[in-house]
Structure 1
Amino acid sequence: MLSLLDTLVKYGLIIFKNVRRNLLRTLLTSLGTMVLVLVITLIWSVLHFLDKAMADKASNFKVIVTERWQIPSRMPLAYASTLREGAATKPDDIRPKDSCTWQFYGATIDPVKRDRDFSMIYFAMQPEKILTMIDELEDLQGERRDALQKLVDRMQSQRNGVILGVSVLKRLKKQPGDRMQLTSFSHKGIDLEVEILGSPPEGTRHDTSCFMNADYFNAAFDDYKAKNKNQPHPMADKSLGLVWLRVDTKADFQKIAAQISDSPLYRNPAVKCEAASSAVATFLESLKDIFWGMRWLLAPAVLVTLSLVIANAISISVRERRMEIAVLKVLGFRPAHVLGLILGEAVLIGAISGLASASAAYYLINQVAGGINFPIAFFSKFFIPIDAFGWGLGIGTFTAFAGAIIPAWSARSVRVADVFSKVA
Structure 2
Amino acid sequence: MNYVFFPLETLIRQIKLHPEYLPYVLGSCCAAALCVGLGIFYFRKFFTFVSKSLLRNLLRTILSSLAVMVLAFVVTLILSIVLLLELVTMEQTKNLKAIVTERYQIPSQMPFSYAQTLADGAARSDRPDDVKPEDSMTWQFFGGTLDKTKMRREDMVFMFAMDPAKLRTMMDDLDSLDPALVEKMVKNKKGVLMGRDRLALIHNHVGGTFTLSGMNYKDIELEFEIVGLLPEGRYDQNTIMNRDYLNDALDAYARAHNGQKHPLADKTLNLFWLRVPDTKAFQKVADQVMTSSLYTTPFVKCETASSGIASFLDAYREILWAVKWLLVPAILITMALVIANAISISVRERRTEMAVLKVLGYGPGRIMAMVLAEAVLVGGSSGFLSALATYLYIHVVKHGIKFQVAFFGVFDIYVDALWWGLLAGTLTSFIGSIIPAWSARRVKVSEVFAKVG
Please state if 1:97 is matched with 2:127. Answer: no
Deviation at 1:69, TM superposition (A): 0.7
Residue correspondence of structure 1 range 35-184 to structure 2 within 5 A: 35-90=70-125, 92=128, 93-138=130-175, 140=176, 145=177, 148-184=178-214
Provide the C-alpha distance between the structure 2 equivalents of 1:132 and 1:12, rounded to a whole number of angstroms.
51
Aligned to 1:33: 68
1:349 aligns with 2:399: no
Q: Which residue of structure 2 lines up, in the alignment, with residue 210 of structure 1?
A: 239
Q: Does 1:260 align with 2:289?
A: yes
Q: CA deviation at 1:22?
A: 1.5
Displacement of 1:418: 2.2
State whether structure 2 residue 291 is matched by structure 1 residue 240: no
Which residue pairs with 1:322 in the alignment? 351
Q: What's the secondary structure of 1:104's corresponding residue? A: strand
Q: Is residue 362 of structure 1 aligned with residue 391 of structure 2? A: yes
Q: Distance in 2 between matches of 1:239 and 1:122?
A: 13
Counterpart residue identity of residue 222, structure 2: L
Q: Which amino acid aligns with 2:227?
A: L
Code of the residue aligned with 2:235 in structure 1: it is H
Could you tell me which amino acid in structure 2 is paired with residue 159 of structure 1? K
TM-score using structure 2 length: 0.88
Matched position secondary structure for 2:96: strand
Which stretches in structure 1 are left out of the alignment for 5+ residues? none
Q: Secondary structure at the match of 1:247?
A: strand
- CA apart distance, 1:110: 2.4
Measured against aligned partners, the alpha-carbon deviations of 1:367-401 in whole angstroms (never above 9, x if no partner) come to: 10111111222222111223222211111110001
Could you report, residue by residue, the CA deviation over 1:20-44 in whole angstroms, capped at 9, with x for unpaired residues? Answer: 1211111111111111111111111
3-state SS of the aligned residue for 2:43?
helix
- Structure 2 residue corresponding to 1:407, chosen from 436, 441, 448: 436
Secondary structure of the residue aligned to 2:430 is: helix
Q: In 2, distance between residues paired with 1:227 and 1:162? A: 25
Query: In the TM superposition, what is the alpha-carbon distance from 1:7 to its structure 2 partner?
Result: 7.5
Q: Paired residue for 2:49? A: 14
Shift of 1:89: 2.0
Instruction: Confirm or deny that 1:187 pairs with 2:211.
Output: no
1:358–1:5 distance in 2 versus 1, CA, 3 Å? closer
Q: Secondary structure at the match of 1:354?
A: helix
CA RMSD after TM alignment: 1.6
The CA distance in 2 between the partners of 1:16 and 1:127, in whole Å, is 58
In structure 2, the partner of 1:309 is 338
Opposite residue 244 of structure 2, the aligned amino acid is D
Deviation at 1:226, TM superposition (A): 2.4
Preserved CA contact (<8 Å) 2:186 2:242: yes
Q: Secondary structure at the match of 2:249?
A: helix
CA distance in 2 between counterparts of 1:381 and 1:418 reads 60
What's the offset of the Cα at 1:6? 8.1
* Offset, 1:198: 1.2
Aligned to 1:338: 367
* AA aligned opposite 1:69: Y
Q: CA deviation at 1:94?
A: 1.4
Q: How many residues align?
A: 413
Moved more, 210-219 or 370-379: 370-379
Contact 2:40 2:47 (C-alpha < 8 Å) held by counterparts: no
- C-alpha offsets along residues 193-227 of structure 1, whole Å, 9 cap, x if unaligned? 1111111222x411222101111011111222223
Taking every aligned residue pair, what percent have the same amino acid on both sides?
48
Give the 3-state SS of the residue equivalent to 1:137 in structure 2. Answer: coil
CA contact (8 A) 2:198 2:236 kept: yes
Letter of the aligned partner of 1:182 in structure 2? L
Amino acid of the structure 2 residue aligned with 1:27: I
Q: Report the secondary structure of 1:274's partner residue.
A: strand
User: Given the alignment, which residue of 269, 277, 285 partners 2:298?
Assistant: 269
3-state SS of 1:396 partner: helix
Aligned to 1:124, the other structure's residue is in SS state strand
Counterpart residue identity of residue 279, structure 1: G
**Which runs of 5 or more structure 2 residues have no equivalent in the other structure?**
1-38
